[in-house]
Amino acid sequence: MKIAVFSTQPYDQVSLDQSNKHFNHEIVYHDTALSEKTASLASGIPVVCVFVNDQVNANVIHTIAANGTRLIALRCAGFNNVDLKAAEAAGITVCRVPAYSPNAISEYTLGLVICLERKIHKAWLRVREDNFALNGLVGNDLYGRTIGVVGTGKIGALVARAFRAGLGCEVLAQDVVENPDLVSIGVKYVSRDELLRRADVVCLHCPLTPHTQHLINADSLKTTRPGVVIVNSGRGSLVDSAALLDALESEHVGGAALDVYEKEKSLFFRDLSEKVISDDVFQRLTTLPNVILTGHQAWLSHEALDSIANITMTNVAQFEKNGGQVEKSHIVRAS
């Protein structure tokens, strides 16, 4: 099938081309994001392939449906950027990559926590300037501390297991469904309020829903322990960034490690080094010594890219072969 791939980065094209050797789809790459302004680029193309920050609202769906698109293939797990009701009304199937490399994100999360708690980011900058003084680099052990993990799906479960079984932490978890394997190694499921109240480090791995949007906010931060560390490698809008900034500046929050940001759509996945960034909250966060910000790269490993490409190409092949049917667990529908 012919596929229009939007928001293409060089690493996307390499992995998709490699996978496509087994499928022989016709791929048209666009480095621009899908939006109301660019939707016409998919004219006459039955499959549109998008990533996390592409705009797939009702107007976009109406345009691509009118121009012949029948499948939206997400090369990611999240789908909050897609108007599923509009897609259903237009007769467009939406599929995704439900799990491509939980290890990549869970390992990156641990790296963020260790880097922040042992001040590795600050030490690296000092050494580059031939400054080998250790004053100001005193960190904290993780052993014996309380780690809160919100969301224990495939990624969160790996994070909880690593902290509990690998680093000897007390781990509190919160999810609508308990994982018995985690319980068996001593992970304790508690309410979200109790988790926020007791945890030294809070790691966010839950999906973005109306119930979880801004779960870290001004009110919930007031209930946390002084010096708490907030870690988000899930969805940007799980955290009210302005409220987090206030709590960091007041020193109630002891640090933050963020790989996602609620207004990242206008920032991430591009080189803005020659531009003026007008997002004051983001800019102020980057100036704080106890904050690590990265550009949504926790998922970015060779293994994850290969998995994303292979599952995406397979979804398209199944859609073509089976008369519009894709593996049930990969289909996304309006609730």
Which band of pLDDT confidence, cut at 50, 70 and 90, is reported for residue 262?
Answer: very high
Does position 89 have pLDDT exceeding 80, yes or no?
yes
Q: d(Cα 162, Cα 111) in Å, to the nearest integer?
A: 11
Query: Cβ atoms within 10 A of the Cβ of 246, count?
Result: 15
For 331-335, which contacts have Cβ atoms below 8 Å and span 24 or more sequence positions? Answer: 331/93, 331/94, 331/95, 332/74, 332/79, 332/82, 332/84, 332/94, 332/95, 332/96, 333/84, 333/88, 333/94, 334/84, 334/85, 334/87, 334/88, 335/84
How is residue 145 written in tokens?
Answer: 């501390």
pLDDT band at 5 (very low <50, low <70, confident <90, very high): very high
State the Cα torsion 176-75-331-91 to the nearest 10°: 130
Instruction: Give the β-pairing of 201-204 and 47-50.
Output: unpaired
What pLDDT was estimated at residue 175?
A: 97
Rg (CA), the chain: 21
Catalytic residue among 296, 320, 327, 330: 296
Q: What is the band of 22 on the pLDDT scale with cuts at 50, 70, 90?
A: very high
Active site residue 296: yes
Length of the chain: 335
- Residue 5 pairs in a beta bridge with 29, 49
Three-state SS for 184? helix
Say what the pLDDT of residue 152 is.
97
Helix (H, G, I), strand (E, B) or coil at 76: coil
Structure tokens at 105: 């994100």
8 Å CB contact between 329 and 98: yes
Q: What is the pLDDT of residue 302?
A: 95
The Cβ of residue 148 has, within 10 Å, a number of other Cβ atoms equal to 29
Helical H segments across the chain, by residue range: 10-20, 58-66, 84-90, 102-117, 120-128, 154-161, 180-184, 192-198, 218-222, 241-249, 280-287, 302-321
Averaged pLDDT for residues 278-303: 96
Q: The tokens of 158 are what?
A: 């790996």
* pLDDT tens profile 241-251: 999 999 999 99
The structure's pTM equals 0.92
Q: Note if 118 is an active site residue.
A: no
Tell me: pLDDT of 279 over 90. Answer: yes
Residue 334 pLDDT: 83
Give me the domains of the chain, ranges plus CATH numbers: 2-100+301-330 (3.40.50.720), 102-293 (3.40.50.720)
Angle at 268 between CA 262 and CA 272, to 5 degrees: 125
Q: Which among 264, 270, 284, 327 is annotated as catalytic?
A: 264
Catalytic residue among 25, 235, 262, 330: 235
Task: Reply yes or no on whether 75 is catalytic.
Answer: no
Angle at which helix 120-128 crosses helix 102-117, to 10 degrees, equals 70
Say how far apart CA 235 and CA 157 lie, in whole Å: 17
Instruction: Return the H-helix or E-strand segment holding 4.
Output: strand 2-5
CA distances from 268 to 9, 282, 309, 328 (A): 12, 12, 21, 31
* Helices H / strands E in the chain, number of each: 12, 12
Asked whether residue 324 carries a pLDDT value surpassing 80, the answer given is no
Percent of the chain with pLDDT over 70: 100
